[in-house]
């Protein structure tokens, strides 16, 4: 199935790519690589999922936040590829940051949600290397932030 068929099957609409919240660009293309800056857990209405896993957010809330990040990554990729996601050859790597307490150790479970969504959308080409890292805080109090590297056709 195509990327667009997969998105439809998953009942996911890709929103307008969020604008950067600081002095950086949302993505950078070089040669055949696309680097996407960290995408926080912000929805299409601008509402940020804020909080800390292990303190005031549940694992399910963390997973929902990671899904938002993955959707925003896809939105940035779509924008970078002139609205043509079929120009993505492979997802190379995701790096996920989870706003969590020192005692919270389920960062991989949270970031799995984003990885699984990328797999579901891009199929075999969505399989990637990954890191899932604990962070004491994230920009704007976000629960999760994820950056990505893609290979372009």
Set out the domains of the chain in order of their start, with CATH numbers: 3-10+34-146 (3.30.1330.40)
Q: In what order do the strands lie in the sheet with 129-135?
A: 27-30, 33-40, 144-152, 88-99, 129-135
User: Which of 33, 118, 17, 8 minimizes the C-alpha distance to 67?
Assistant: 118
For residue 50, CA distances in Å to 4, 38, 66, 78, 109 come to 30, 15, 12, 26, 18
Judged against a pLDDT cut of 90, whether residue 1 lies above it is answered with no
Structure tokens given for 20: 């950067």
Judged against a pLDDT cut of 90, whether residue 126 lies above it is answered with yes
What's the pTM?
Answer: 0.96
Question: Considering the chain, what is the average pLDDT of its residues?
Answer: 97
pLDDT at 60: 98
* Rounded-to-integer distance, Cα 34 and Cα 51, Å: 29
Q: What is the pLDDT of residues 17-70, one digit of tens each?
A: 988 988 999 999 999 999 999 999 999 999 999 999 999 999 999 999 999 999
């Amino acid at each position: 199935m195509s990327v667009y068929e997969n998105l439809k099957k998953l009942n996911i609409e890709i929103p307008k790519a969020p604008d950067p919240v600081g002095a950086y660009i949302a993505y950078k293309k070089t040669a055949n690589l696309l680097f996407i800056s960290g995408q926080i857990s912000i929805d299409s209405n601008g509402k940020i999922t804020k909080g800390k896993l292990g303190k005031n957010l549940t694992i399910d809330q963390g997973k929902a936040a990671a899904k938002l990040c993955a959707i925003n990554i896809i939105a940035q990729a779509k924008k970078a590829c002139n609205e043509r996601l079929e120009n993505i050859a492979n997802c190379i790597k995701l790096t996920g940051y989870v706003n969590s307490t020192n005692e919270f150790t389920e960062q991989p479970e949270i970031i799995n949600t984003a990885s699984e969504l990328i797999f579901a959308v891009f199929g075999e080409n969505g399989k990637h290397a990954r890191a899932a890292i604990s962070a004491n805080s994230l920009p704007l109090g976000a629960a999760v932030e994820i950056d990505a590297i893609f290979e372009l056709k």
